[in-house]
Amino acid sequence: MAAVLRQSAKYSLSGRLTPFAGPVTALHSRNGRGRTALSCLVSNQRNSSSASKIKVDLDSNTGIAVMTLQSPPVNSLSLDFLTEFAISLEKLEMDRGCRGLVLTSALPKIFSAGLDIMEMYGKSPERCGEFWKAVQEMWLKLYGSNMVTIAAINGSSPAGGCLMALSCDYRIMADNPRYGIGLNETQLGIVAPFWFKDTLVNTVGSRTTELALQLGLLYSAPEALKIGLVDQLVPEDKVVSTATETMAKWFAIPDHARQITKSMMRKPTIDKLLSSRESDINNFVSFITKDSIQKSLRMYMESLKKRKA
């Protein structure tokens, strides 16, 4: 636990949106984004990279990067995956040639199965703390990104997968009623933390969020459109192309004006986590390592396997 606290105290990179510091901050580079130590580490990498769990293709003509999640079997968010995600995102964030990000999956029928349950089962408190910090990091970076971010949801996207999509600016989903999306944590016997809840409230409103979270609802694609959890449904083979076409509308808005507006909407939620990261990590660790919660996770994993058999 002490190690977790020390790591949290050292934490410095997150919540990329800074416009409340004033428009000058937002305008100090062409696209309103600054540089950090990590950016120096990654800025020398090539525009197109194919790391093991995430593929990034940046088109320098359009300024759009497509980040393709390719971690079989279900793109679950393991510590390794989250680390790679954060590095890839940071690299794009610092690249002045990149204004927009499309997030999609290479796996048939699955966008992301959410947090890797095996990262939360039978692990030491230190490891759980490290994992949760990486989950926080993913959300802070994506929700606070200065880029235009569009989720091209070409498959099911429960729990952490839904959070990832919700953290984008716009969501386009494959028009397939078999695909489910939602924050279904209570079905696993676990509780979505306040920043998951606030991200959903900011998208679909308070009453819908309460129903969704208490009941752990997974919405089909048409249902998700109805409640505003996603913005658009298109045929599966058009999800990514629609996302890149949609970028044009967002790129037509001056970056600094859009970024300041995005910050106005999101900064209060981001600041709430930034000011309570350590206690959020401690809450997660003490909750997830409880015997009763470990038992719920085991039973849930077994039920997934039984369903398959």
- Residue 64 or residue 117: which is nearer to ligand LJEIAPTW going by CB? 117
Cα separation values, 221 from 45, 67, 156, 185, 264, Å: 37, 22, 9, 19, 29
**Interface characters, 174-213, with ligand LJEIAPTW (x: CB under 6 A):** ----------xx--x-xxxx--------------------
β-pairing verdict for 148-153 and 48-50: unpaired
Assess contact for 136 and 280: CB atoms under 8 A. Answer: yes
Q: Taking CB under 6 A as the rule, does residue 305 contact ligand LJEIAPTW?
A: yes
HSE value, Cβ hemisphere, 13 Å, CA-based, for 7: 16
Report in angstroms how near the CB of residue 306 gets to ligand LJEIAPTW at its nearest.
10
- Say how far apart CA 249 and CA 251 lie, in whole Å: 6
- Say how far apart CA 247 and CA 148 lie, in whole Å: 8
Active site residue 202: no
> Interface with ligand LJEIAPTW by CB under 6 A: which range of 6-14, 235-243, 263-271, 284-292?
284-292
Report in angstroms how near the CB of residue 151 gets to ligand LJEIAPTW at its nearest.
16
| Chain Cα centroid distance, residue 117 | 16
Q: Taking CB under 6 A as the rule, does residue 304 contact ligand LJEIAPTW?
A: yes
**Interface characters, 58-77, with ligand LJEIAPTW (x: CB under 6 A):** ---------------xx-x-
| Chain Cα centroid distance, residue 303 | 26
- Residue 76 or residue 263: which is nearer to ligand LJEIAPTW going by CB? 76
Active site residue 245: no
For residue 102, the surrounding DSSP H or E stretch is strand 100-105
Q: How many CB atoms lie within 10 A of CB 286?
A: 13
> Interface with ligand LJEIAPTW by CB under 6 A: which range of 58-66, 91-99, 145-153, 297-305?
297-305
- Please report, as ranges, the residues that interact with ligand LJEIAPTW according to CB under 6 A: 73-74, 76, 109-110, 113-118, 156, 158-160, 184-185, 188, 190-193, 283-284, 287-288, 301, 304-305, 308
